[in-house]
Amino acid sequence: MNFGSINNVYFIGVGGIGMSAIARYFVANGKQVAGYDKTPTEITNALEDLGVQIHFEDNIEKVPSAFLNPEDTLVVYTPAIPKGHSEFNYFNTKQFNVLKRSAILGEITKQTVCLAVAGTHGKTTTTSILGHLLKVCNAPVTAFLGGIGENYNSNLIINGTEVTVVEADEFDRSFLTLSPDLACITSMDADHLDIYGNAEELVKTFKDFTECIKPNGKLFVRNGLPLKGITYGIEDDSDYSAQNITIENGSYVFDLKTPSGIYKDLKFSLPGRHNLSNATIAMAMALDYGCSVKELSKGLESYKGVKRRFTYQIKTDDFVFIDDYAHHPEEIKAVYQAVREMYPNKKVLAIFQPHLFTRTKDFVDEFAESLSKFDELLLLDIYPARELPIEGVTSKWLFDKINNPNKKLIQKSHIIDEIKKSDAQIVLTIGAGDIGAEVKHIKEALYV
256 lies in the same domain as 363: no
197 lies in the same domain as 224: yes
CA-to-CA distance for 55 and 35, rounded, in angstroms?
Answer: 7
Select from 65, 100, 135 the last residue of a domain. 100
Residue 88 lies inside a defined structural domain of this protein:
yes
Among residues 253, 274, 364, 398, the alpha carbon closest in space to that of 324 is found at 274
The domain of 23 spans 3-100
Q: Which residues of 279-294 are buried (b: 16+ CB within 10 A; e: fewer)?
A: bbbbbbbbbbbebebe
Contact of 229 with 218, CB cutoff 8 Å: yes
242 lies in the same domain as 316: no
Select from 302, 327, 346 the last residue of a domain. 302
CA-to-CA distance for 325 and 437, rounded, in angstroms?
Answer: 12
Among residues 108, 113, 146, the alpha carbon closest in space to that of 128 is found at 146
What Rg do the C-alpha atoms of the chain give, in angstroms? Answer: 22
CA-to-CA distance for 55 and 277, rounded, in angstroms?
Answer: 40
Residue 121 lies inside a defined structural domain of this protein:
yes
CA-to-CA distance for 301 and 279, rounded, in angstroms?
Answer: 11
Q: Which residues of 159-169 are buried (b: 16+ CB within 10 A; e: fewer)?
A: beeebbbbbbb
Q: What is the model's pLDDT at position 351?
A: 97
Q: The domain that contains 226 carries what CATH number?
A: 3.40.1190.10
352 lies in the same domain as 287: no
160 lies in the same domain as 268: yes
Name 40's Cβ contacts closer than 8 Å, sequence gap at least 6: 15, 54, 56
271 lies in the same domain as 369: no
298 lies in the same domain as 315: no
Q: What is the model's pLDDT at position 198?
A: 64
Encode the chain (448 residues) as per-residue pLDDT tens digits. Answer: 678 789 999 999 999 989 999 999 999 999 999 999 998 988 999 999 999 999 999 999 999 999 999 999 999 999 888 888 999 999 999 989 999 998 999 999 988 999 999 998 889 999 999 999 999 999 999 999 999 999 999 999 999 999 999 998 876 777 888 999 999 999 887 555 556 566 677 788 889 999 999 999 999 999 999 999 999 999 999 999 999 999 888 789 999 999 999 999 999 999 889 899 999 999 999 999 999 999 999 999 999 999 888 889 998 888 999 999 999 998 999 899 989 988 988 999 999 999 999 999 999 999 999 999 999 999 999 999 878 899 999 999 999 999 999 999 999 999 999 999 999 999 999 998 899 889 999 999 987 5
25 lies in the same domain as 50: yes
Cα distances (Å, whole numbers) of residue 381 to 200, 286, 323 = 30, 41, 18
141 lies in the same domain as 290: yes
Cα distances (Å, whole numbers) of residue 140 to 134, 160, 217, 262, 440 = 8, 4, 19, 27, 36
Residue 362 lies inside a defined structural domain of this protein:
yes
396 lies in the same domain as 372: yes
φ/ψ of 242, rounded to 5, equals -80, 125
Name 412's Cβ contacts closer than 8 Å, sequence gap at least 6: 353, 380, 381, 434, 435, 438
Domains of the chain: total: 3
157 lies in the same domain as 176: yes
Contact of 72 with 5, CB cutoff 8 Å: yes
